[in-house]
A and B are shown apart, each in its own frame.
Chain A
Amino acid sequence: MSIQQIFNGLQWGSFYALIALGYSMVYSILMLFNFAHGDVFMVGAYIGLFVATAVLGIAASGLLPLPPAVTFVLVLVLTMFLTSFVGMAVERVAYRPLRDAPRASAAITGLMVGIFLETGNLALLGASRRTFPPLIETVTYTLGPITVTNIKILTIVLALLLMLALNLFIQKTKTGMAMRAMSVDYAAVPLMGVPMDRVIVLTFALGSALAGAAGVLFSMTYPVLEPYMGLLIGWKAFVAAILGGRGSILGAVLGGFILGFIEILVAALFVSTLRDLIAYSIVLLILTFRPYGLFGEEYSARLRI
């Protein structure tokens, strides 16, 4: 086991963490599995691709010569902004009409929206894989036995920054307070004069913006985009979100990092063939001893059937 593997685990975990946050936020407020989230991440990556192409095109045409750092920030912010609308649209179409329905029904509509997004992408853009243009030149640093690229560091740092920002938002602002309140008592909050719809929409917007950011960072590291890229990572981030514990930002983040670490370390220490078998057995064990997740508090999830 080398320090190299720790870096690998940190980077892989950042993606899980960023996506898991979106699951966790929706889950803590609506008690809902947002199964479309993995595909929102996929759409985020594609939006990132188009924004990046456009921004790079403008920069290259000489109209507006931008340094790479500015380009990157611009692409990231624009993508997050645009992806948040995808999340809001999903909420409007798939979840709002079913708010009073059994929540498992909403999980199914989410699943269907996900399939629709995948196939829609396939139908619109064709089956060819897309490649993400390099926004920042990759620089490789070698420190003894460790090789780290600047993108790797950037991913880890940015992911942590975004999570911190989200945490601040939830702890310090009024809307954040409303979100926390709703996760404690969903029914009482509207009675206190909190505009419930707005809070829910904002939750989806924030979660999707983070998925958009994950999409951009992911595509910079793994620059091959395809319509089904969100499928597996989405399911696994869902595991991470619950592994961390319900309604806990810290829990989702740590759940993401822990899952990332487990996957990387199992592959590094054991035969890599057995990775999923061992990694998810560990998850199963953790949940056996901490049924409410690592950081979740005991709660009674009354199914609203």
Chain B
Amino acid sequence: MKGRWARFRRWFQGIPVASWLLGGLAAATVERLVGLVVAYTLGLSGIPSFFGLSLILANPAQIPAVLVYLLVMYALPVYLVARATAAWTARLVTRMSTRTYVFVHVVLLFLVVYFWGELDSYRLLVLRLLAISIILTTSLNLVNGWMGEFSVAVAGFMSVGAYVSSIVMVWGFVDDDVFGPAVFPPTLASLAFPFALGLGGMAAAITALAVAIPSFRTRGDYLAIITLAYVFIVKSAVENMEFIGGPRGFMNQPNVAGFPVVFIWTALALWVIYNYTSSTLGKATSAVRDNESAAEAMTVDTRKVKVVAFLTHAFWSGVAGGLYAHVIGYINPSSFGIVKSAEVLAMLYLGGLSSITGSVLGAVLFQMLSEILRPLQLAKWLVIPVVLIVVMIFRPRGLLGFREMRFPFLQPRPTEEVGYAPASD
């Protein structure tokens, strides 16, 4: 068994991530050129949106066609191009500084995903929702993972962020029957969008302060209940604000949250949170989780550490809320109920605490599961809970709890003896 695994792995060995991304780019190009024709030839009704998984569920007879499609469109081009460019990229990559390395990979990832997603509006929408979920999950991880408390306020923060940024954008850039004609020329909407999002995030953080000040005097499960009350309060407050539509909702958000914008914000959020967790402040946060008195003895200002982590969480959830509002183009208070919080919690614990890659993985799996299983209709919500329960039973700390995902054998970083690192666990 071990030998077979090693042999299987040798196929991928020494191919750097950048090559795989180039392969992805090639596959996306091939799909763009001939995808439709291949799909028709195979008897599919069109290019399968998400690897044909929902097609298979809807009609199992399509399995062979979908498999052939996947092989021809994705597996072959990706592998061939990755293999062919491996040596070249490895040489290039090992010469890069870490900063360039990360930058190049993020740009490549963006190109692959965008090129692939842009072919199909369904992909593009789901990818944007997915990116928003990633921001939410990662930012919640700060509080529930690194800080070790239990917060359920995500939906409330989202709501505040969504409403504030929507109000700013609609007031400023849209001829609307609520706020009258646009104050600024609508062409500037995209430029102002980051500021609106930032304002939304800040507003969420300010309301979070009201929760944070009393609740971090003590520790315990107090935060769970306070944040739960917070979600009820925000929902009820928005329902009572007539000028933004109350329960009827608020719409007409300008269409400024395209995939590139959402991607940049997601990358930014991940970068900030990654730096946060690896900073002194982040280490202090984990120290508070593991032993508060010990942390205090080591001169950690526990209260400040907790409040900062909580506000960061609130800010990014607010930003995600603002993105959500502009992606969907309509918000109403009941979109941000306790069910939304529960969804993000499920993503977080599925992926694992205190792990950025875990949060990304959890969000991706949960979101994809709930898209792919659509053909099951009602049964979808029987399958998803069962899957999650089974995962939690076998991996109680989530898929990647307290560790980050690494593929050492995919990374051709220079070592002393060889050009690039051999596979090792």
Within the complex, which residue of A98, A102, A287 is in contact with B226, where a contact is CB–CB below 8 Å?
A287
Assess the B233–A242 pair: CB atoms within 8 A: no
Chain A minimum-CB-distance residue to B382: A119
CB distance from B391 to the nearest CB of A (A): 9
Assess the B232–A280 pair: CB atoms within 8 A: yes
Assess the A276–B235 pair: CB atoms within 8 A: yes
In the complex, A6 has a CB within 8 A of chain B = no
Chain B's interface: helix, strand, loop or mixed, by majority? helix
What residues of B have a CB within 8 angstroms of the CB of A303 in the complex?
A: 148, 289
What residues of A have a CB within 8 angstroms of the CB of B230 in the complex?
A: 280, 284
Please provide the chain B residues from 198 to 255 with a CB less than 8 Å away from any CB of chain A in the complex: 211, 214-215, 217-222, 224-226, 228-230, 232-233, 235-237, 239-240
In the complex, B379 has a CB within 8 A of chain A = yes
CB distance from B183 to the nearest CB of A (A): 30
What residues of A have a CB within 8 angstroms of the CB of B237 in the complex?
A: 277
What residues of B have a CB within 8 angstroms of the CB of A280 in the complex?
A: 229-230, 232-233, 236
Assess the A101–B148 pair: CB atoms within 8 A: no
Assess the B378–A291 pair: CB atoms within 8 A: no
In the complex, B388 has a CB within 8 A of chain A = yes
In the complex, B38 has a CB within 8 A of chain A = no
CB distance from A286 to the nearest CB of B (A): 10
Known: A102-B397, A109-B392, A112-B346. A284 touches B229 (CB 8 A): yes
In the assembled complex, the Cα of A294 lies from the Cα of B220 at a distance in Å of 15
In the complex, A115 has a CB within 8 A of chain B = yes
Chain B minimum-CB-distance residue to A240: B225
Please provide the chain A residues from 82 to 117 with a CB less than 8 Å away from any CB of chain B in the complex: 93-94, 97-98, 100-102, 104-109, 111-113, 115-116
CB distance from B393 to the nearest CB of A (A): 4
What residues of B have a CB within 8 angstroms of the CB of A101 in the complex?
A: 392, 396-397
Known: A102-B396, A242-B224. A119 touches B236 (CB 8 A): no
Number of interface residues of A (CB under 8 A): 51
Known: A105-B349, A111-B346. A291 touches B218 (CB 8 A): yes
CB distance from A29 to the nearest CB of B (A): 14
Chain B minimum-CB-distance residue to A96: B393
In the complex, A54 has a CB within 8 A of chain B = no
In the assembled complex, the Cα of A275 lies from the Cα of B235 at a distance in Å of 11
CB distance from B174 to the nearest CB of A (A): 28
Assess the A98–B393 pair: CB atoms within 8 A: yes
In the complex, B171 has a CB within 8 A of chain A = no
Sample 8 A-B pairs with CB under 8 A, ordered by A number: A33-B150, A102-B353, A108-B349, A116-B385, A119-B382, A280-B233, A301-B219, A301-B221
Residue ranges of A at the interface with B (Cβ–Cβ < 8 Å) = 31, 33, 35, 93-94, 97-98, 100-102, 104-109, 111-113, 115-116, 118-120, 122-123, 231, 235, 238-239, 242-243, 246, 273-277, 280-281, 283-284, 287-288, 291-292, 299-301, 303, 305
